[in-house]
Amino acid sequence: MRVAVFNSKDYDKESLGAYRGEHEFVFFRPALDEHSVAMARGFDAVCCFVNDDVGTAVVEALAELGVKLIAMRCAGYNNVDLEAAKARGITVCRVPEYSPHTVAEHAVALIMDLNRNIHRAFNRIRENDYSLQGLQGFEIHGKTVGVIGTGIIGSTFANLMSGFGCRILGYDPGQNERFAKIGDYVELDKLLNESDIVSLHCPLLPATRHIVNADSINKMKDGVMIINTSRGALVDTPAVIDALKTGKVGWLGLDVYEDEAGLFFEDNSNRILTDDVLARLLTFPNVVITGHQAFFSREALKTIADTTIANVEAFAEQRLEEKNTVSV
Ligand code: NAD
């Protein structure tokens, strides 16, 4: 099989490019979209990432080009039109699980950075400013942490936070035993009412889009910390900005942002930032944003490459595992 790897970075070439088997991975810098899809001509499969546009028009174009497999090198697939893929007989596979510790630890890193103002201390000390005014933090121990989405990453995160001595609450329409051993399942409103920290670990679905909005923020504790390492559109960003202005939201840690496509994963330092919402977010001292790097560990990249290669091999041999495929 010939696989066109879209949106590829040097680290993708290092991991996937190390493959020395019978299939061929060809790396393309552009993201997959309606303009770049023509590059898939002559390929049997495309390999895509979180911000590639694999919507209806692109899937139709891939089908016309004879592409048979969309191999996502990530867990999420909210950017793929699964109905269109099914209708055109294209298989969609993904990496359902790659070191949940990688993402869960990043969520903890955002919490620990925010609560002790490490990002501000870093800047101050570089300016020879050793004053402490404004850097006061709070203990994580004894706080209530609400986990929305208690799947593989959510329960790994819950386990880490329980190690700090936190009380753990979880909300998930599909409950599991792993989380139940660590925390208490509650209704969403109770979680919002009682949590000092709310961390999002559910997928982006119609039901979860803007799960953090003006209404749900109103139900949260004053000064709540919100952490999102899942998908940007889980959060209604203008609503959070309003709540940051009043102090209702005390801390915000984001690894993902609703309009990150075309911005994240790239060096835009020579360009003018035209996204006024993001620009406003960047003005708050109590907001920390990372550019979708929660997945970015040595261990996770290796697992992502190994599973993607195994998916391509299995598809070619018609033995692709159901757990690695996504369908409607
Ligand atoms: P998972 O499928 O194991 O867990 C997701 C959980 O969310 C499931 O238990 C599911 O029942 C639950 N859920 C579904 N609908 C919900 C709702 N309406 N409210 C609350 N919970 C709901 O997935 P995972 O591997 O734990 O990944 C979680 C998310 O993390 C992914 O969907 C992906 O968007 C995100 N992610 C981000 C990065 C990153 O680099 N920032 C990396 C990997 C994954």
The separation between the first and the last C-alpha atoms of the chain, rounded to the nearest angstrom, is 25
Our mutation pick for probing the ligand 1 site, out of 106, 177, 230, 264, counting the most ligand atoms within 8 A of Cβ, is 230
Per the CB < 8 A criterion, the answer to whether 70 and 48 are in contact is yes
Cβ-contact 144, 196 below 8 angstroms: yes
Helix (DSSP H) and strand (DSSP E) numbers for the chain = 12, 13
What is the Å distance from ligand 1's center to 231 Cα? 9
Kindly state if the Cβ of 95 falls inside 6 Å of ligand 1. no
The atom number, within ligand 1, closest to the CA of 148 reads 20
Q: Is the CB of 174 under 6 A from ligand 1?
A: yes
267 phi and psi angles, rounded to 5 deg:
-85, 105
pLDDT in tens, 246-290: 999 999 999 999 999 989 999 999 999 999 999 999 999 999 999
- The pLDDT of residue 237 is 98
Ligand 1 atom closest to 150 (CA)? 9
| Intervals of CATH 3.40.50.720 along the chain | 2-98+298-326, 100-289
> φ and ψ at 89, to 5 degrees?
70, 25
> What value, to the nearest 5°, has the Cα angle with vertex 31 and ends 74 and 38?
120
pTM: 0.93
> Which residues of the chain fall short of a pLDDT of 70?
none
Q: Residue whose CA is closest, atom 11 of ligand 1?
A: 174
Please tell me the distance from the alpha carbon of residue 200 to that of residue 222, in angstroms, as a whole number: 18
| CATH topology for the 100-289 domain | Rossmann fold (3.40.50)
Best of 200, 201, 211 for a ligand 1 pocket test (most atoms within 8 Å of beta carbon): 201
**Ligand 1 nearest atom to the CA of residue 171, by list position:** 20
Residue 112 identity? M
- State whether the beta carbon of 253 lies less than 6 angstroms from ligand 1: no
Q: Is the CB of 99 under 6 A from ligand 1?
A: no
Active site residues: 231, 260
**In this structure, which residue's CA is closest to atom 42 in ligand 1?**
295
DSSP 50: T
Is the CB of residue 72 less than 8 Å from the CB of residue 93?
yes
* pLDDT value at residue 170: 98
C-alpha–C-alpha distance, residues 49 and 32, integer Å? 9
Give yes or no for residue 203 CB within 6 A of ligand 1: yes
For the record, the structure tokens of 180 come out as: 């139940």
pLDDT score at 159: 98
260 touches ligand 1 (CB under 6 Å): no
* CB of 55 shorter than 6 A to ligand 1: no
Pocket test for ligand 1, best of 51, 153, 179, 324 (most atoms within 8 A of CB): 153
Quote the CA–CA distance of 5 and 13 in Å, as a whole number.
9
Nearest CA to ligand 1 atom 30: 230
2-5 vs 249-254, strand pairing mode: unpaired
How high is the pLDDT of residue 222? 98
Quick check: CB of 230 below 6 Å from ligand 1?
Answer: yes
Instruction: State the CATH class of domain 2-98+298-326.
Output: alpha beta
How confident is the model at residue 98, as a pLDDT? 86
Q: Return d(Cα 318, Cα 43) in angstroms, integer.
A: 18
Q: Is the CB of 153 under 6 A from ligand 1?
A: yes
